[in-house]
């Protein structure tokens, strides 16, 4: 696999951004401020150099979970956390006086990352129902000719099976592991398995496999670009997502306001 070309930080602003990214703390969650291009470059450099990173995407729901559950907040402290959606943007602007360069929602970011990956980059999928992850694997292979989908496994297994799951992933020799189980389950699993995995990137991707397989319809691009995809998803699944997007949003905004009043959070 070819390495990502290295440039001096002095002559390339994106390189400086990649090497020492600014960050915003929203409560207990530290979210890096990277443009889409810089975030992709950083992850490709991680693959090329065989460094290892856990990656998470933080939306309002995930940040609220971390505020409520110290164990989840502690887990996220070991991840490179990228911003996802309008909730993270609001939190950053209120607490730090600055937003994020781009909305890095995982469902758009991961395909963009795969598009830029060198030919032969190996991808493993973990999560979702058996028929969905298999269909998603086929779609990834069809949509990204440069990617070798080297294996997949559904997300229905017991805790006692985790050593075998890790062994199966390592046997496939992936460069990128995508874990689609929703948060906080996917981040907890990545964290438990990480020291037993030989993979540069382990990324929690939520409902990505459902979207990729065509099981769930994506929001129009305008809503995605403006961080309002949650509105479309709420209208699609009001029963399942109603609490998250009504009382959850109110609680999140209230906690952000309290942090601001107490002078906590921010840079």
Residue 9 has pLDDT above 50, yes or no: no
Q: How would you classify residue 27: left for phi > 0, otherwise alpha for psi between -120 and 50, otherwise beta?
A: left
User: Phi, psi (5° rounding) for residue 266?
Assistant: 110, -150
Q: Residue 61 and residue 106: Cα distance in Å, rounded?
A: 14
Cβ atoms within 10 Å, residue 164? 11
**How much is the pLDDT for 188?**
99
Contact 54, 80 (CB under 8 A): yes
Residue 7 has pLDDT above 50, yes or no: no
Span 236-258, mean pLDDT? 78
Tens of pLDDT, residues 192-217:
999 999 999 999 999 999 999 998 77
Cβ atoms within 10 Å, residue 143? 12
**How much is the pLDDT for 16?**
59
Q: How would you classify residue 264: left for phi > 0, otherwise alpha for psi between -120 and 50, otherwise beta?
A: beta
Residue 264 has pLDDT above 90, yes or no: no
pLDDT band at 263 (very low <50, low <70, confident <90, very high): confident
Span 121-133, mean pLDDT? 99
**How much is the pLDDT for 4?**
43
Residue 10 has pLDDT above 60, yes or no: no
**How much is the pLDDT for 249?**
84
**How much is the pLDDT for 244?**
63
- pTM for this one? 0.86
pLDDT band at 267 (very low <50, low <70, confident <90, very high): low
Q: Residue 223 and residue 131: Cα distance in Å, rounded?
A: 29
Tens of pLDDT, residues 54-112:
999 999 999 999 999 999 999 999 999 999 999 999 999 999 999 999 999 999 999 99
Closest CA to 137 of 161, 114, 156: 114
């Amino acid at each position: 696999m070819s390495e990502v070309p290295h440039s001096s930080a002095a002559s390339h602003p994106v390189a400086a951004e990649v090497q020492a990214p600014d960050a915003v703390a929203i409560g207990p969650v530290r979210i890096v401020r990277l443009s889409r291009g810089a975030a992709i470059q950083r992850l490709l450099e991680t693959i090329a150099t065989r460094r290892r990173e856990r990656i998470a995407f933080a939306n309002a729901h995930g940040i609220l979970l971390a505020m409520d559950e110290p164990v989840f907040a502690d887990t996220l402290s070991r991840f490179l956390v990228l911003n996802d959606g309008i909730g993270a943007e609001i939190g950053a602007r209120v607490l730090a006086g600055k937003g994020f360069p781009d909305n890095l929602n995982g469902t758009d970011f991961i395909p963009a990352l795969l598009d830029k990956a060198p030919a032969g980059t190996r991808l493993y999928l973990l999560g979702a129902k058996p028929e969905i992850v298999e269909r998603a694997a086929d779609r990834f292979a069809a949509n990204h000719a440069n990617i070798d989908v080297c294996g997949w496994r559904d997300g229905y297994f017991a805790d006692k099976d985790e050593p075998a799951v890790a062994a199966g992933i390592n046997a496939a020799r992936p460069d990128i592991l995508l874990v689609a189980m929703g948060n906080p389950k996917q981040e907890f699993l990545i964290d438990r398995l990480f020291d037993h995995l030989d993979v540069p990137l382990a990324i929690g991707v939520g409902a990505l496999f459902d979207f990729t397989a065509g099981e769930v319809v994506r929001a129009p691009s305008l809503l995605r670009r403006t961080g309002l995809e949650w509105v479309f998803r709420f209208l699609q699944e009001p029963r399942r997502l109603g609490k998250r997007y009504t009382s959850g949003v109110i609680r999140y905004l209230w906690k952000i306001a309290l942090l601001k009043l107490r002078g906590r959070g921010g840079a």
